[in-house]
Amino acid sequence: MQHETGTFAGPDGVEIFTQCWLPDEGVPRAAVLIAHGYAEHSGRYAHVAAHLVERGYAVYALDHRGHGRSGGARAQVHDFDEYVSDLRTYFEQIRARHLNPPLFLYGHSMGSLIALLFALRWQDELAGLITTGTALRLGGVRAWLVPAVKLLSQWQPGWSPIPVLEAAGISRDPAVIERYVHDPLVYRGPMRLGLAAALLRASRTCAERLGELRLPYLALHGGADPLTLPEGAALIRARSGSADTTVHVFEGLYHEVHNEPEREQVLTCVVEWLDAHVEQPQLALRPQHVGGSK
């Protein structure tokens, strides 16, 4: 497996870190672009990438602004359009590298909202959409808190009254929790009001516009997810406008289904769905890496 890293400048000049994993031989069957979740970074998906690369896929990922190795204020944006714009820039670079590419978008948690917002604008350019731990129903959020967060964020977007993300909710695997807590690239501070308000807006927008989806859509969720509630999966099942929508809830699994003890079962589900939706057998590859090189 080949691994490359790079950077590009976002629309406002913020440096965005990128990486990709490619098969050693032959041309990839398709490309999968990963949008990671809140507070984490793309490096936590190396095992997901390896699983997909072994089965003939090219995998690309970026660290969202304010996350991981990318620039920007830590875990802070005014609006999710900032994330979506960065993703669009990288998407266009990936497409420029490949010839007639089947391109799939894979978003987890906060990244699921970024992926959904992207798909709602450009779904005709995607071969399909995958979301996991889709953040349509957030654990611990009460209805009366929403207007309060929105109001306060207008005056104090950098204020951080929201507790640190509870690591115990991401996986039932103690080793995963240990690595997460001690990962220097994971943001372990409290969530800022500006990001919280942007997250709530994005979640509401995505929930309201699910009916506009037409592309193939796979949604996976942990049945015991305490961070993004499984009710979000039920919402996708009820509201998605795509006739090709598959929703799978894994009973007993926590938030990061790809990091649970049953991860092999989860990733097999992803690969089988991708295999069924790859229309073109090959993805021709240009020689340069997108996002520059390091």
- Residue of 109, 153, 240, 242 marked active site: 109
- Residue of 108, 255, 258, 289 marked active site: 255
Residues 6 or more apart whose Cβ sits within 8 Å of residue 234: 247
Q: Which residue has the tokens 């669009």?
A: 88
Q: Is 109 a catalytic residue?
A: yes
Q: Is 225 a catalytic residue?
A: yes
Q: Is 64 a catalytic residue?
A: no
- Residue of 42, 98, 225, 258 marked active site: 225
C-alpha to C-alpha distances, 173 to 16, 19, 182, 258, nearest whole angstrom? 30, 26, 15, 11
Dig out the tokens for 160 from the structure: 């951080």
> HEC states along the chain?
CEEEEEEEECCCCCEEEEEEEECCCCCCCCEEEEECCCCCCHHHHHHHHHHHHCCCCEEEEECCCCCCCCCCCCCCCCCCHHHHHHHHHHHHHHHHHEECCCEEEEEECHHHHHHHHHHHHHHHHCCEEEEECCCCCECCCCCCHHHHHHHHHHHCCCCCCECCCCHHHCCCCHHHHHHHHCCCCCCCCCECHHHHHHHHHHHHHHHHHHHHCCCCEEEEEECCCCCECCHHHHHHHHHCCCCCEEEEEECCCCCCHHHCCCHHHHHHHHHHHHHHHCCCCCCEECCCCCCCCC
- Residues with catalytic roles: 109, 225, 255
